[in-house]
C-alpha cells in the first residue's frame, strides 16, 4: 500500500537529523514506499470549501548537511492526500489553532495525525486536568491572591505560562523567594491567559521522564535529568538523557489515560512524569523518538506507521 503523505511542519532544511522526530517518521514513510510532500503551516489555505497546501515533493536521506531534496511548489488538494502529519512546533497560538480548524475539513477522510479537533481541544497543560488524580497539586488562575494562598499551602512552587513550550518561562519559586510578586506582574504583562502553578516535586532532580504512547499504549521512555542549578530538564536547555524503563506507577498512568488518547485519535503522544505525577500530555509535536531508539535499540517510528497505515486503510473503507 503506497500512501500520499503531506507533512505540515517548520522548514525541514533547518532540522537536526540526529534528534528530530519528524525526520525519522518521514524517513520511515519513504522507506515504506509512500510519496512525501512538505509544506509550511502558512502555506495552508481554504478556497471555496477546499483545503489546499502549497507543498513541495520531498526526498530524504540520513546525510548531514544534505538530508533533503525539495521539488517545485505545487498546490495540492488535501482531500486527495491519504495522510497529513501535523508536526509544526508550538507555540500553541491562534495560528496553530487556525490550522486545526482548516485540517478539520479533510479529517478523517484524509487521516490527520494527530486528530486536529483533539489537538485543538487538548493543550498540554489543560488536557491533563481531566486526570486530577494523576497530577501534582495544581492551580490555574489569574488571581494573585489565589497564587499566594497556594504558596502558603505548598511552599515550593513551579510557575509557568499556560501555553508555553520547551521549558520557556518555567520558574522554580522556593519558599521565601522575594521574586514571586514581580514574576506574577511580569506574567500579567506578557500573557492574557491564566498562569499555571504547581507544587514543586523534588523528584525532578532524579529526572523528568518522557514516555511515548502510540495509539494509547506505552512504547518507550527516556529520563531527562536537569543540569546542576537548573529546574528544567528539557534536553535543549542542558538536560541529560538517560535510558529508562517504566515503573509500576508509570504503567498505571499510561493505562489510565490510554483509552482517552485512542478515543480522541491521538496516535502519537508524549507524556511527562516526575516521580509519581504526570505533569503534561504533549499532543502537538512530541519528540524524543531518536533518543529512545538509540537507548533501546528500537524503531518507534515504525510502530507509529504501523498504526497510521492501519487507520488510513480503515478510512478508505
pLDDT band for position 92 (cuts 50, 70, 90)? confident
Q: Are the beta carbons of 200 and 256 closer than 8 angstroms?
A: no
What's the mean pLDDT in 235-251? 92
**Could you give the number of structural domains in the chain?**
3
Q: Are residues 91 and 9 in the same domain?
A: yes
Same domain, 192 and 223: no
Same domain, 173 and 207: no
206: its cell numbers: 532524579
Q: Which residue in the list 210, 223, 291, 293 is annotated as catalytic?
A: 210
pLDDT of residue 317: 63
Tell me whether residue 313 is in a domain.
no
Of 169, 200, 231, the domain-final residue: 200
Q: Which CATH number goes with the domain that contains 250?
A: 3.30.470.20
144 is catalytic: no
Closest CA to 6 of 32, 51, 30, 39: 39
Specify if 229 maps to a domain. Answer: yes
CB 211 within 8 A of CB 221: yes
CATH number for 190: 3.30.1490.20
Q: What's the rounded mean pLDDT across residues 57-86?
A: 98
Residues 179 and 218 in one domain: no
Share of the chain above pLDDT 70, in %: 99
- Domain end (from 158, 180, 200): 200
- 309 within a domain of the structure (yes/no): no
- pLDDT tens digit sequence for 153-173: 999 999 999 887 777 789 999
Catalytic annotation on 193? no
User: Which among 115, 124, 215, 272 is annotated as catalytic?
Assistant: 272
Instruction: Determine the pLDDT at residue 236.
Output: 74
Judged on CB neighbours under 10 Å (0-12, 13-18, 19+), 55 is buried
Phi, psi of 151, deg, nearest 5:
-65, -40
Reply yes or no on whether 223 is catalytic.
no
Could you tell me the pLDDT band of residue 228, with boundaries at 50, 70 and 90? confident
87 counts as catalytic: no
Q: Phi/psi class of residue 48: alpha, beta or left (left: φ > 0; alpha: ψ in -120 to 50)? A: left
> What does DSSP assign to residue 300?
H
Q: Which of 215, 224, 250, 309 is catalytic?
A: 224
Q: 254 and 191 in one domain?
A: no
Does residue 283 lie within any of the structural domains?
A: yes
Question: Which conformational region is residue 70 in: left (phi greater than 0), alpha (psi within -120 to 50 degrees), or beta?
Answer: beta
In a domain, 270, yes or no: yes
Residue 88 pLDDT > 80: yes
Q: Is the pLDDT of residue 70 over 80?
A: yes
| Residue 160: active-site member | yes
- For residues 169 and 208, state if they share a domain: no
Active site residue 280: yes
Domain holding 278, by residue range, is: 124-128+203-303
Asked if 228 and 275 sit in the same domain, the reply is yes
Of 160, 199, 209, 264, the catalytic one is 160
Say whether 249 is catalytic. no
Predicted local distance difference test score (pLDDT) of residue 141: 96
C-alpha cell at 303: 510502530
pLDDT per residue over 246-280, tens digit each? 999 999 999 999 999 999 999 999 999 999 999 99
Q: Is 314 part of any domain? A: no
Give me the catalytic one of 280, 291, 301, 309. Answer: 280
Q: What CATH number should be reported for the domain holding residue 38? A: 3.40.50.20
Residue 35 lies in a domain: yes
pLDDT tens digit string along 307-316? 999 999 887 7
Evaluate if pTM is beyond 0.85: yes
Helices then strands (H, E): number in the chain?
Answer: 9, 17
CA-angle at 149, arms to 147 and 150, nearest 5° = 60
In the listed set 58, 80, 114, which residue is the last one of a domain according to the structure?
114
Residues 210 and 298 in one domain: yes
Mean pLDDT score of the chain:
95
Same domain, 194 and 237: no
Q: Supply φ then ψ for residue 166, to 5 degrees.
A: 65, 20
Contact 249, 91 (CB under 8 A): no
For 41, the grid coordinates are 503551516
Query: Annotated catalytic, 282?
Result: yes
How many other CB atoms are found less than 10 A from the CB of residue 159? 22
Q: Give the tens place of pLDDT for each residue, 94-116.
A: 999 999 999 999 999 999 999 99
pLDDT (tens digit per residue) in 192-207? 899 999 999 999 999 9
- Indicate the burial class of 40 (C-beta count within 10 angstroms; 0-12, 13-18, 19 or more): middle
Same domain, 86 and 108: yes
Percent of residues, the chain, with pLDDT higher than 90: 87
Between CA 54 and CA 63, with CA 57 as vertex, the angle to 5 degrees is 125
* Structure confidence at residue 200 (pLDDT): 96
Confidence check: pLDDT of 237 > 90: no
Amino acid at each position: 500500500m503506497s500512501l500520499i503523505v503531506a507533512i505540515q511542519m517548520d522548514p525541514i532544511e533547518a532540522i537536526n537529523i540526529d534528534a528530530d522526530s519528524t525526520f525519522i517518521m518521514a524517513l520511515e514513510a519513504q522507506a515504506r514506499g509512500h510519496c512525501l510532500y512538505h509544506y509550511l503551516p502558512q502555506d495552508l489555505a481554504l478556497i471555496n470549501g477546499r483545503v489546499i497546501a502549497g507543498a513541495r515533493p520531498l526526498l530524504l536521506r540520513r546525510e548531514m548537511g544534505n538530508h533533503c531534496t525539495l521539488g517545485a511548489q505545487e498546490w495540492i488538494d488535501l482531500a486527495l492526500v491519504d495522510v497529513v502529519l501535523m508536526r509544526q512546533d508550538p507555540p500553541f497560538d491562534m495560528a496553530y489553532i487556525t490550522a486545526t480548524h482548516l485540517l478539520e475539513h479533510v479529517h478523517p477522510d484524509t487521516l490527520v495525525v494527530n486528530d486536529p479537533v483533539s489537538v485543538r481541544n487538548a493543550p498540554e497543560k489543560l488536557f491533563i486536568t481531566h486526570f486530577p488524580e494523576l497530577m501534582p497539586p495544581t492551580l490555574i488562575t489569574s488571581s494573585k491572591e489565589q497564587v499566594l494562598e497556594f504558596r502558603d499551602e505548598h511552599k515550593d512552587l513551579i510557575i509557568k505560562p499556560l501555553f508555553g513550550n520547551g521549558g520557556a518561562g518555567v520558574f522554580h519559586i522556593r519558599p521565601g523567594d522575594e521574586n514571586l510578586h514581580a514574576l506574577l506582574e511580569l506574567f500579567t504583562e506578557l500573557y492574557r491567559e491564566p498562569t499555571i502553578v504547581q507544587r514543586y516535586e523534588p523528584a525532578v532532580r532524579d529526572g523528568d521522564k518522557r514516555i511515548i504512547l502510540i495509539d494509547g499504549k506505552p512504547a518507550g521512555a527516556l529520563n531527562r535529568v536537569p543540569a546542576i542549578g537548573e529546574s528544567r530538564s528539557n534536553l535543549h536547555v542542558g538536560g541529560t538523557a538517560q535510558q529508562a524503563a517504566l515503573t509500576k506507577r508509570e504503567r498505571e498512568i499510561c493505562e489510565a489515560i490510554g483509552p482517552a488518547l485512542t478515543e480522541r485519535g491521538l496516535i502519537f503522544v508524549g507524556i511527562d512524569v516526575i516521580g509519581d505525577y504526570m505533569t503534561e500530555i504533549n499532543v502537538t509535536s512530541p519528540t524524543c523518538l531518536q533518543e529512545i531508539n538509540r537507548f533501546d535499540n528500537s524503531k518507534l517510528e515504525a510502530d507509529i506507521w504501523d498504526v497510521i497505515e492501519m487507520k488510513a486503510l480503515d478510512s478508505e473503507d
